[in-house]
Amino acid sequence: MFLLAPVLLGAVAAPGAQDDRLERFRNLAATRLALVGTDDGERTREALREIYALLDEEIVDSLQSGSVFTSLPFLQERLDGFADAWGGASFKLRRLGRLTVGAFQLVDSSPGNSVRVYGEARGEAQLQHAFVRDGRPALYPLTGGPTPALIVAWEGWPTNAGVRPLRLELLRPRGDDVTVTWDTAPLYPEGLVARDWRIRGNELRIRYELHYPGWTPGCEGQTEQEDVYRLAPDGVAPTRVARRQYNGWHQALRHSVSGLFAALASGDRASLATFVPDAELRRRLPATLAPEPACDAPDPAVDPDAVSVAAVESERRPWTLTWRRAGRRWQLVSATPVL
């Protein structure tokens, strides 16, 4: 009977403090919502500090109270109330061993979003770590390995071409905190722009854009790549086990197109002949011919092995260059100025 008293007192006391925090959060949403996501100055940083202080208090107090207050359903229900007060926010929790990890999305992109890790140190619940990156965070379990693991996905806003910036990190417990044992940022130093990605068990697949000379934003049919990573039972980080290309012909085509422009600019007749076997066609090509940023135009109905490429002279006179596949290479078979 007496053993239940602290729990009952906690159950009575906790809602009052929680309701007060929720009301303060509503006031912040009413006065600071327009700032977050539209301004990255000191006023926004101060607003974010206040917002996350309330969210951290909510979770830490519940974890410290023990009993039902530490359950994910209880914590999630409380956070859903805060998300509704903000409007359009998303606060999602997962367990990582003894730790509680939250993905907090206030706006569509940074600086308003964070992944926060809560645990116990020296007998007290507290915020252990906070990650801030570009994009909207989400949490996914990755099975296998010596300890529990979560993939943190930071996704940017999708473009009209159906791709989006992506950064993935692998979190594992380390004592009372977490450590990042794998990160796509150093693996793809020019940035990862993904068309699709998925996790299945201990396997991770990422299909992404390849940026190469002649690649043009928003065009269809350009070369993309898919990497497959797998986590071994005794591993702490995924290892790439496969790589596959889609529309590899376009990168090969653009390699030849870039070689043609370089040969024309330098007067390299030997290289020019490898790209343009027809001597009369080589003679008619202007030395000032240069690439024009435009989508390449295959016409499979007319010639499945031919592609039209836009170019321009120094006087801004447009040309159409027709290339045809010759085995694994591409050669120029026609070049005409556009009237």
pLDDT of residue 1: 29
Q: Which residues contact 301 (CB under 8 A, 6 or more apart)?
A: none
- pLDDT surpasses 90 at 47: no
- Note the pLDDT tens digit of each residue in 180-210: 999 999 999 999 999 999 999 999 999 999 9
In CATH, what class is 249-337? alpha beta
Q: Which residues contact 238 (CB under 8 A, 6 or more apart)?
A: 142, 170, 182, 204, 229, 230, 231
Tokens of 184: 């796509």
Whether the upstream peptide bond of residue 173 has omega within 30° of 0, thus cis, is no
Tokens of 151: 């993939």
pLDDT of residue 7: 31
CA–CA dist 223, 209 (Å, integer): 7
CA–CA dist 73, 42 (Å, integer): 35
- Looking at per-residue confidence, does 66 or 127 come out higher? 127
CA–CA dist 247, 295 (Å, integer): 14
Q: What is the mean pLDDT of residues 218-235?
A: 94
Tokens 């530490």 appear where? 70
The H-assigned helical ranges of 158-233 are 184-187
pLDDT of residue 203: 96
Instruction: Give residue 17's identity as a one-letter amino acid code.
Output: A
Question: Taking Cα atoms as reference points, which of 208, 109, 231 lies closest to residue 161?
Answer: 208
E strands present in the chain:
90-96, 99-105, 114-121, 124-131, 136-141, 150-155, 164-174, 177-183, 193-200, 203-209, 224-230, 239-246, 290-291, 297-299, 303-312, 318-326, 329-337
SS3 (DSSP) at 262? helix
Question: What does the chain come to in residues?
Answer: 339
What is the pLDDT confidence band of residue 17, given thresholds at 50, 70 and 90?
low
pLDDT of residue 38: 66
- Note the pLDDT tens digit of each residue in 162-181: 899 999 999 999 988 999 99
- pLDDT surpasses 50 at 218: yes
- pLDDT surpasses 80 at 4: no
CATH code 3.10.450 region(s) in the chain: 249-337
- Note the pLDDT tens digit of each residue in 315-332: 789 999 999 998 888 999
pLDDT of residue 94: 97
pTM score, whole prediction: 0.87
Tokens of 106: 């206030």
pLDDT of residue 234: 87
CB 208 within 8 A of CB 221: no
How many other C-beta atoms lie within 10 A of the C-beta of residue 35?
17
